[in-house]
């Protein structure tokens, strides 16, 4: 009788965890989907790219440190401090270059290109950590790269500001993939809040010289309106703070494989919101590039199913975060 009650309680707990994990994953995907058009609304009309990047870094650092006062602190091992500084540098690179892309690039293109991140994580592990990658996985990565290349080239329109913006999107994907590889070890040893408070603090310290790049007159502050101010607040609170804090527990609750599927909603949401707000136009190459990238990732995932490990985790962790 006791065994039956215990089993029932355990099953009920797992069911609740699955529901909560799916809700967290879905909410994060929605936030990331709104992030691209939100950035495009602000950059460059209301605030510069560096202004948005610095607002995200400093805003998130302050908020997460406040949250950390309600979480039991953990002692960081001596050898991990270098990893946290390296992670902070990659985080700063990702956030800053991500914002720079919106000076000229399409938010839909950026969302599609960021979908290529899981493959970059696998490639970095294979090259620098000598992880074994099968032939079929390399084929999948090659297919996904072709999709990303199609989005970067804008369907063949090489040159101009849009192309440069898409290159920025690829660079920030590489930066975030490096961040994921570096932080992989510490993320297993420390609670998410205790880890992120140091990473954002170090990112804020590293970003101090970038304050000199801010223009003297920022439209958002010299001619304030509630819509852009609310948009910037949304970017800081949700795609930055909320998503970085809820993704790790979501992975623990539902697994990285399930979470990875939610990431494919991000470009779809970004496209719908951008079109509804009339801040972007639809082009034939965008759904084609997206389908090619997803097909490549799915093929690599299929190849990895016989030897589960790196790819599924990378696909979930790397996601399309911005």
Task: List, for residues 294-314, the tens digit of each pLDDT value.
Answer: 899 888 877 776 655 444 444
Domain boundaries, the chain: 28-318
Task: Convert the pLDDT of each residue in 64-78 to its tens digit.
Answer: 999 999 999 999 999
Tell me what the mean pLDDT of segment 222-237 comes to: 90
Long-range contacts of residues 229-236, Cβ cutoff 8 Å, at least 24 apart? 231/38, 231/41, 231/42, 232/42, 232/47, 232/52, 232/55, 234/34, 234/38, 235/35, 235/38, 235/39, 235/42, 235/52, 235/55, 235/56, 236/55, 236/56, 236/59, 236/60, 236/63
pLDDT of 90: 96
Question: Does 157 score more than 70 pLDDT?
Answer: no
Give pTM, 2 decimals: 0.86
Among residues of the chain, what percentage have pLDDT more than 70?
87
Question: Does 273 score more than 70 pLDDT?
Answer: yes
Cβ proximity of 169 and 101 under 8 Å:
yes
């Amino acid at each position: 009788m006791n065994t039956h009650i215990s089993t029932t309680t355990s099953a009920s707990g797992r069911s609740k965890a699955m529901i909560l994990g799916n809700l967290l994953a879905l909410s994060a995907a929605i936030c990331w989907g709104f992030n691209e058009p939100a950035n495009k609304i602000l950059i460059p009309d209301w605030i510069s790219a560096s202004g948005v990047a610095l607002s995200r870094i400093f805003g998130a650092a302050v908020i997460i440190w406040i949250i950390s006062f309600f979480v039991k602190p953990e002692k960081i091992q001596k050898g991990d401090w270098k990893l946290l500084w390296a992670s902070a540098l990659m985080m700063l690179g990702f956030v800053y270059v991500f914002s720079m892309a919106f000076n000229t690039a399409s938010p839909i293109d950026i969302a599609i290109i960021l979908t290529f991140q899981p493959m970059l994580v696998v490639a970095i592990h294979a090259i620098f950590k000598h992880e074994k990658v099968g032939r079929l996985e390399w084929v999948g990565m090659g297919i996904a790269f072709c999709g990303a290349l199609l989005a970067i080239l804008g369907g063949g329109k090489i040159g101009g500001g849009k192309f440069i913006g898409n290159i920025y999107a690829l660079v920030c994907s590489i930066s975030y993939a490096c961040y994921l590889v570096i932080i992989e070890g510490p993320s297993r040893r420390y609670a998410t809040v205790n880890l992120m408070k140091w990473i954002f603090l170090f990112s804020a310290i590293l970003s101090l010289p970038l304050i000199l790049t801010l223009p003297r007159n920022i439209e958002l502050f010299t001619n304030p309106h509630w819509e852009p101010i609310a948009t910037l607040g949304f970017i800081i609170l949700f795609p930055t703070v909320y998503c970085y804090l809820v993704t790790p527990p979501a992975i623990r609750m539902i697994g990285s494989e399930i979470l990875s599927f939610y990431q494919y909603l991000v470009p779809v949401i970004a496209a719908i919101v951008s079109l509804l707000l009339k801040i972007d136009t639809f082009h034939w190459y965008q759904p084609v590039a997206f389908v090619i990238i997803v097909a490549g990732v799915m093929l690599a995932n299929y190849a990895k199913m016989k030897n589960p490990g790196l790819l599924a985790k990378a696909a979930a962790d790397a996601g399309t975060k911005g």
